[in-house]
Amino acid sequence: MSHNEKIDVGQNQRNGRLNGQVAIVTGAGRGIGAAIAIRLAQLGAHTILCGRRRASLEETSSEIKAAGASIIECDVSDLASVQSIAATIERSFGRLDILVNNAGIMGSQGPLHELPPDVWDNIFNTNLRGVYYMIRSLAPLMIRARSGHIINISSLAGKNPVANAAAYSASKWGLNGLSYSVAEELRTHNIRVSVICPGSVHTDFSPHVGKNAEKMLQAGDVAHAVEMIVTQAPQSFMSEILLRPTQKP
């Protein structure tokens, strides 16, 4: 498909398919990010897998198989790295329809007064500053097209107090506030900004000791929420989704 060819995005969304669209998922090498990337590719989007470690991105890419995918190594906390991604996407595709800001870290846990400043900085640089960098660099492509989805993966920790995880919780509260405000800024450009706040999600790299994994949310549950957002009718958008398990694990 040529970069200048018009795509009936609304029709694709009504059919539940994303054929011809371009998506990027940060933190796509594992866990929630990998599940989201695979789901978007299955829906027909050419999915750009973004992360710091190429080996894990290649694992996700191998699961996508026949569906379209590209790999771009990037550290979202580095503005130059993010700007390089934006330039590559514009040069290679000329468009971006879906941006999923999933990359995030929890960092070490414990009382805030014992938290080393460098751990605080790492958490905020990835969980909040990185989202700012991605939106700053990639929203102009969507504004030009007057279309697009930006989906920020937050946490219920951004809604509720969490002892011994104050920095992580604060970063997610900040991400929620950023999402609500940017949604108001970009809706005039027909760009929909949504935030998903899941509870604890069981993944292979992030087990939760003492909890029943079978009762916990799974990475696929978050991917399903993303699918609902990007396939809804064009006259509406889900500004926020809170995800909880049916039973407490």
**pLDDT value, residue 41:** 95
User: How would DSSP label each residue in the chain?
Assistant: --TTS---HHHHHHTT--TT-EEEEETTTSHHHHHHHHHHHHTT-EEEEEES-HHHHHHHHHHHTTS-EEEEE--TT-HHHHHHHHHHHHHHTS---EEEE--------S-GGG--HHHHHHHHIIIIIHHHHHHHHHHHHHHHHT-EEEEEE--GGGTS--TT-HHHHHHHHHHHHHHHHHHHHHGGGTEEEEEEEE--EEBTTB--TTS-TTTSEEHHHHHHHHHHHHTS-TT----EEEE--SS--
**pLDDT value, residue 1:** 37
In the set 132, 133, 168, 180, the catalytic residue is 168
Residue reference for tokens 């978007």: 40
Q: What is the pLDDT tens value at each position of the chain, 249 positions in all? A: 333 333 444 444 444 489 999 999 999 999 999 999 999 999 999 999 999 999 999 999 998 875 679 999 999 999 999 999 999 999 999 999 999 999 999 988 899 999 999 999 999 999 999 999 999 999 999 999 999 999 999 999 999 999 999 999 999 999 999 999 999 999 999 999 999 999 989 876 555 666 777 888 999 999 999 999 999 999 999 999 999 999 887
168 catalytic? Reply is: yes
What CATH fold (topology level) applies to the domain 13-243? Rossmann fold (3.40.50)
Exposed, middle or buried by CB within 10 Å (0-12, 13-18, 19+), for 32?
A: buried
**pLDDT value, residue 150:** 98
Determine the Cα–Cα distance for residues 233 and 11; give it in Å rounded to an integer: 9
Structure tokens at 214: 């079978």
Amino acid at 202: H
Question: Given the DSSP bridges, would you call strands 46-51 and 22-26 parallel, antiparallel or unpaired?
Answer: parallel
145 to 4, 87, 100: CA distances (angstroms)? 11, 16, 18
